[in-house]
Amino acid sequence: MMAHEQSGPRKGYDHVPMGAYSVVAEVHAKPGKADELRTATLPLIDLVRSDPKNLVYFFQVDRADPGHLIFYEVFATQDDFEAHNNMPYVQAWFAKLSELADGGVRMTRMEILQAPKK
């Protein structure tokens, strides 16, 4: 079962190890560039989710500000995340940001915590 094919309550969480490397990344579109930035970003969903090292990937848009894009990503390790960032399709997306985004990517790097098993 792929990570994004959950069925029923709590199904799919077991594949995320304790201590997994997670990231919340935010990008703000330049004025008038929200649709263009979203269009440039949508192909990343299938590309990142097809990476066997990716455990969770969500691309989200702020309902109150459609130019505010938020990514939630989980990888087992920081090395897996860094390898993801070095993929050609991610590098190509980063290269478009100077034209489309206001200030680049703001990233918060986190560690997944889990409640003790009962």
Is the pLDDT reported for residue 2 higher than 50?
no
59 within domain boundaries: yes
The pTM of the full predicted model, rounded to 2 decimals, is 0.83
Range of the domain at 84: 17-111
Q: DSSP letter for 117, please.
A: P
Q: What is the percent of the chain with per-residue pLDDT over 70, rounded to a whole number?
A: 86
Give the CATH number of the domain where residue 32 resides: 3.30.70.100
What pairs with residue 65 in β-bridges? 62
pLDDT in tens, 102-116: 999 999 999 998 766
1 within domain boundaries: no
pLDDT in tens, 44-87: 999 999 999 999 999 999 999 999 999 999 999 999 999 999 99
102 within domain boundaries: yes
Strand 65-75 relative to strand 101-111: parallel, antiparallel, unpaired? unpaired
116 within domain boundaries: no
- Contact indicator for 34, 87 with CB cutoff of 8 Å: no
Phi, psi of 32 (to 5 degrees): 80, 0
Tell me the two tokens of residue 26.
């935010």
Q: How many structural domains comprise the chain?
A: 1
47 within domain boundaries: yes
